[in-house]
Structure 1
Amino acid sequence: MTFYEFLVFIHIFSAILGMGPGFVMTFVVTSSNPSNMTELRQSFAIRNKLHILTMVGGTLLLITGIWMGILNTYWFSQGWYITSLFLFLVALAFGPTLLKSRSKPLKKLLRDYRGEDIPVEYYQLSKRLFFVEHIENIIFLIIIVLMILKPF
C-alpha cells in the first residue's frame, strides 16, 4: 500500500466514521419519539456521543483531503475539489456560528428544566437546530457526490 492509498483509506474510513453518525444525529432524537424529559435527555446524551465521532471523522477528512490535494496539486485547479473543500469549510463554520447559537438555549433547557413533561419551547428550539443540521447534511451529500463523480 502506497502512502497515497493509505490516505485514501483513512479518508474513506473517516467519511464513514464522521458523516455516518452526523446524518443520524437528528433522527436519534426525533425517531426515538421521547415522551418525557428523561427520555429526551437520554436521546441527547446518545446524540452527544455521536457528535464526538463526527468531530473526529470530520477532522480526519479535512486533514487527509488537503494532504491528498498537496500530493496531487492539480486538484487545486479542479472544480470538484475546490467546491468540495469550500463546502466543507462552510459546513465546518456552521458549528461555532449557526449550530452553537441554536443548540445553546436547547442545552440550557435540557439542563435546567425540572418537570417531566416536554415543554412547548423545546419543539420550537429543536426545530431551529434540526433545520440547520438538515442543511448541513445536504451540503455533505453534495460533497459526497462531488467526490464520487468529479463532474468538473
Structure 2
Amino acid sequence: MTFYTILLIIHLVAAVVGLGATFGMPVLMSNVKTVSQAQFAHKVSKGIEKFAKVGSITLLLTGIIMAIINPYLFKEVWYIASLVIYVAVQPITAGILPKKEKLQLKSLESHEGEELPEEYKKLAKQVIPFNNVLHASAVILIVLMTVKPF
C-alpha cells in the first residue's frame, strides 16, 4: 500500500465522519420542543461538532497533501473548484453558525419554564438557510470528487 493510498483512505474516512456529523447536527437541533431538550441537544451537538471539525480539517490537509504528491491536481478544475467551495463555506461553519448557537444558548439561560423562548425559535429559523448552503456544498463537493467532471 502506497503512502498516497493511505492518504486517500484517510481522506475518505474523514469525509464519512465529518459529513455525517455535519448532516446529523441540524436533524438533532430541529427536533427540540422544550428548553430541557434544547439544552441537551446543544450538549450533544458540541460532541458531534468535534467530529465535523476534525473530519473537515483532515479532508483539507489530506487533499492538499495528495495534490502536492500529484501536482497535476492543481490544474484540475474540479480540484480547484472543491478548494474554492471549501474556503467559501468556512465563514458559515466557523463564524455564523457558532455565533447563532451562542445566542440560542444565551436565550435559554435567561428563560424560565420549559417552553422554548421566541428568540430561540427565531434564531433556529435563521440557521436553516445556512445549513442548506452547507449541505448543498457538501453534496457538490462529493460529486466533484467522485465524478471529476472537468
Q: TM > 0.5 between the two? A: yes
Paired residue for 2:96?
98
Amino acid at match of 1:21: A
For residue 112 of structure 1, the aligned residue among 110, 113, 128 is: 110
Residue 111 of structure 1: how far off its partner (Å): 3.2
Q: Give distance in 2, aligned partners of 1:149 and 1:26.
A: 27
- Identity over aligned residues, as a percent? 33
Q: Give distance in 2, aligned partners of 1:96 and 1:58.
A: 11
Give the TM-score normalised by the residue count of structure 1: 0.92
The Cα offsets for residues 99-132 of structure 1, whole Å up to 9 and x where unpaired, read as: 2333331121133323211112211101112321
> Aligned pair 1:62/2:85, yes or no?
no
Q: CA RMSD in A?
A: 1.4
Q: Give distance in 2, aligned partners of 1:50 and 1:100.
A: 13
Q: Give distance in 1, aligned partners of 2:121 and 2:7.
A: 42
Residue 94 of structure 1: how far off its partner (Å): 1.9
Q: Give distance in 2, aligned partners of 1:49 and 1:110.
A: 19
Amino acid at match of 2:29: V
* Runs of 5+ unmatched residues, structure 2: none
Residue 39 of structure 1: how far off its partner (Å): 1.2
**What is the aligned length?**
150
Paired residue for 1:16?
16
Q: Give distance in 1, aligned partners of 2:133 and 2:20.
A: 15
* Runs of 5+ unmatched residues, structure 1: none
> Aligned pair 1:145/2:143, yes or no?
yes
Q: Give distance in 2, aligned partners of 1:85 and 1:148.
A: 15
The Cα offsets for residues 40-99 of structure 1, whole Å up to 9 and x where unpaired, read as: 111121112110100011110000000001111111111000000110111223233322
Q: Give distance in 2, aligned partners of 1:139 and 1:62.
A: 14
Greater CA deviation, 35-44 or 81-90? 35-44
The Cα offsets for residues 1-31 of structure 1, whole Å up to 9 and x where unpaired, read as: 100000000000000111111011100122x
Aligned to 2:101, the other structure's residue is in SS state: helix
1:51-90 alignment, distance < 5 Å: 51-90=49-88
Aligned to 2:97, the other structure's residue is in SS state: helix
